[in-house]
Amino acid sequence: MRVRNVFVIAGVLVLLFFTFIAGIGCGFLMSGDDAFSTGDKVAVLKVEDIILDDQPYIDSISKIKEDKKVKAVVVRINSPGGAVGPSQEIYSELKKLRKDMPVIASIGNVGASGGYYIACAAEKIFANPGTITGSIGVVAEFTSYEKLLEWAKVDVEVLKSGRYKDVGSPFREMTPEDREYMQGLIDNVYSQFKSAVAESRGLGAAEVDKVADGKIFTGEQAKGLKLIDETGTINDAIDLASKMAGIKGKPGLVYYPKKKSQFLELLESRLDIPGITSMPSKYSFGLFYLVDIIN
């Protein structure tokens, strides 16, 4: 009986091993990577959705630098923007990457506010004629529950160490001093955004001011305003990146950030590993390079 159990366990382990290997293989195939290409490659860094966490992108840039076969990078952007800090972090790391290889940006459906900020790190920016881009500006939104608490007859007592320690608190209305203080922060970060655009796009202060009022533009309009270089597809961006890198023939493509295979996602969902399958919200306050296109 014991021998039989040993064989059963061994059989299950072998089955799990081959299933695991098959899952990894399927992951490579579904990712679209030219994983087994031996020639020179172009890395495609996909910046998608609202930008709140820069770590996956920073890690990806580090891996791109380590891969000696990667000769150029195309940053594919489909994002309405996000938090200021992560947007600036990704922008800065891409600027550093340009010292090692060509970096080209390709904006898909939308690359606005923080998404556009990141695109400015590239040597050239492509966008479709109907792409939504621009929205150069900063926003901070605050909710006040003061009247609701009064209606519910709920008192909230706050102890603080300084006058501005609870600025933006939902438990009280902002004072004129609070608004002036927050506006100063917003204006400073707004100035940083405009400086990045001016430097990367070779525009004067007056030219930037003309387009930095929060408006969104189509890709066609953006080209006329010198916010992008060319209207074109991601393939056009890849072709230019390959040419600038001196790659002969069709390059292999490798995509970042790496996504888990469906097998691993299924395994984690079955195991219900804390901290992997459920992530708490970490961002409830901050300044944002973000466009609100659809309410």
- The residues annotated with a catalytic role in the active site are 113, 165
> Which of 20, 23, 72 lies closest to 254, judged by CA?
72
**CA angle, corner 260, sides to 259 and 263, nearest 5?**
145
CA–CA distance, 70 with 65 (Å, rounded to integer):
8
> Which of 128, 134, 132 lies closest to 237, judged by CA?
128
CA–CA distance, 256 with 56 (Å, rounded to integer):
9
Strand ranges for the chain from DSSP E: 41-48, 70-79, 81-83, 103-112, 124-127, 132-134, 216-218, 230-231, 252-256, 288-290
157: how many CB neighbours lie within 10 A of its CB?
5
CA–CA distance, 276 with 248 (Å, rounded to integer):
42
Q: Which residues, 6 or more positions from 43, have their beta carbon under 8 angstroms from its beta carbon?
A: 64, 67, 70, 72, 73, 74, 253, 254, 255, 256
Q: Are 66 and 101 in contact (CB under 8 A)?
A: no
What is the sign, positive or negative, of the torsion defined by CA atoms of 19, 22, 28, 30? Answer: negative
On the 0-12 / 13-18 / 19+ scale of CB atoms within 10 A, 244 is middle
